């Protein structure tokens, strides 16, 4: 039922809406006179993308902000101990989920009643229709659960990868310039602007260096550490017997660190995925940022599309710089992210890629 949400046709219809959300967000970042906390803002961006694009909810900004705060409380307590006591994280998480589901039910009902003015089928539309095609009309509870699952899947890991992407572009200006060169060569970037109508799914799919950059971000900074599986039959691994029925965890990060195909594993090197080297093609499970096998991440193509759209906007219409003296340390829990959130100053640009001066700088006629 969920698979159609991430089909080629569905992704094509989401793309213009994703672009719009990213453009509006970068415009807001650039108009802020103070540095922004990238990780927090990336969480807001991915939450807004899930609500506006995937689910098609027309929730006012003020109400959306309140829903985001409740959602953060829900996420913060997902991994709490299951002890239903007053003031426990578990109790706070349960209450947050109940509040969320009330808000989502209201949004779903309004959406089902108001179908006017829609110019594309969002994920919730597709989910409802896909259920009917399989002979199962989804109940309101199933719709609420499916909606919350979609938000959860699009939120934390994509915000983590978005933050890592921005940090690596800051650390490696040559990579950023090489991205710009590819966009110019493909006719996407011209005179400091993205050519209208140039971004389609097949066009983005043809940006090979961009694909290498996103792959390398996900190799070196995989948002989650691994996944769990149940042993279906007893087997032996490196002299150790693993009994049937055991629960085992595979480690994505350790795999990327130890896979023999990757040279200089600690170096950020997008060219390792280029045609000349193709280091990820040497083995089926050497590179698995989205897991592997039958239960590989269902939304991986949407996640990569979002990251590519963000990278294109960053390379085309933004200038940004680190707002701290050094880059922050990285923490791995609950998903990989910078400890201080990565503080960055964004600058507004005009059509000629010159900075738009604001406030005191503009009054003094300062040049940057």
What residue numbers does the annotated binding site for heme cover? 297
Q: Per DSSP, what are the bridge partners of residue 208?
A: none
Cis peptide before 137, with omega less than 30 degrees from 0?
no
* Radius of gyration from C-alpha coordinates of the chain: 22
Burial of 165 (0-12, 13-18, 19+ CB in 10 A): buried
CA 6 to each of CA 56, 132, 298, 337: distance values in angstroms, whole numbers, following the listed order: 15, 17, 7, 26
N residues, the chain: 368
* Residue 275 contacts residue 269 (beta carbons within 8 Å): no
Closest CA to 289 of 336, 322, 358, 329: 336
Binding site: residue ranges?
297
User: Mapping DSSP to helix (H, G, I), strand (E, B) and coil, where does residue 13 land?
Assistant: helix
Element (H, E) at 154: helix 140-171
User: Phi, psi at residue 94, to the nearest 5°?
Assistant: -65, -45
Closest CA to 23 of 171, 199, 217, 202: 199
Give the span between the Cα atoms of 137 and 129, in whole angstroms.
Answer: 8
Give the span between the Cα atoms of 120 and 212, in whole angstroms.
Answer: 30
């Amino acid at each position: 039922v969920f698979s159609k949400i991430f089909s080629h046709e569905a992704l094509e219809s989401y793309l213009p809406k994703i672009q719009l959300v990213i453009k509006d967000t970068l415009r807001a970042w650039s108009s802020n006179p103070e540095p922004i906390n990238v990780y927090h803002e990336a969480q807001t961006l991915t939450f807004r993308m899930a609500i506006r694009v995937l689910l098609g909810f027309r929730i006012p900004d003020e109400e959306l902000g309140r829903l985001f705060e409740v959602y953060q409380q829900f996420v913060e307590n997902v991994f709490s101990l299951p002890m239903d006591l007053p003031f426990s994280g578990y109790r706070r998480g349960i209450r947050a989920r109940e509040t969320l589901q009330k808000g989502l039910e209201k949004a779903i009902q309004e959406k089902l009643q108001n179908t006017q003015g829609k110019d594309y089928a969002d994920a919730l539309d597709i989910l409802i229709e896909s259920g009917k095609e399989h002979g199962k009309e989804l109940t309101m509870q199933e719709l609420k659960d499916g909606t919350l699952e979609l938000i959860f899947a699009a939120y934390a890991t994509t915000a983590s990868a978005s933050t890592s992407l921005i940090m690596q572009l800051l650390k490696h200006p040559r990579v950023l310039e090489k991205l710009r060169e590819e966009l110019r060569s493909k006719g996407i970037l011209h005179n400091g602007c993205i050519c209208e109508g140039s971004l389609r799914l097949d066009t983005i799919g043809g940006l090979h260096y961009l694909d290498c950059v996103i792959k390398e971000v996900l190799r070196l900074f995989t948002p989650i550490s691994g996944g769990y599986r149940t042993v279906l039959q007893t087997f032996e691994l490196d002299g150790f017997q693993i009994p049937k029925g055991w629960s085992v965890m595979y480690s994505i990060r350790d795999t990327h660190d130890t896979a023999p195909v990757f040279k200089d594993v600690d170096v950020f090197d997008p060219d390792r995925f280029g045609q000349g080297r193709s280091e990820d093609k040497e083995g089926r499970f050497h590179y698995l940022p989205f897991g592997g096998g039958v239960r590989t991440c269902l939304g991986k193509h949407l996640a990569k599309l979002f990251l590519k759209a963000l990278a294109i906007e960053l390379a085309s219409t933004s200038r940004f710089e680190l707002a701290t003296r050094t880059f922050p340390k990285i923490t791995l829990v609950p998903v990989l992210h910078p400890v201080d959130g990565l503080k960055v100053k964004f600058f507004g640009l005009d059509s000629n890629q010159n900075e738009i001066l604001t406030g005191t700088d503009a009054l003094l006629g300062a040049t940057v």
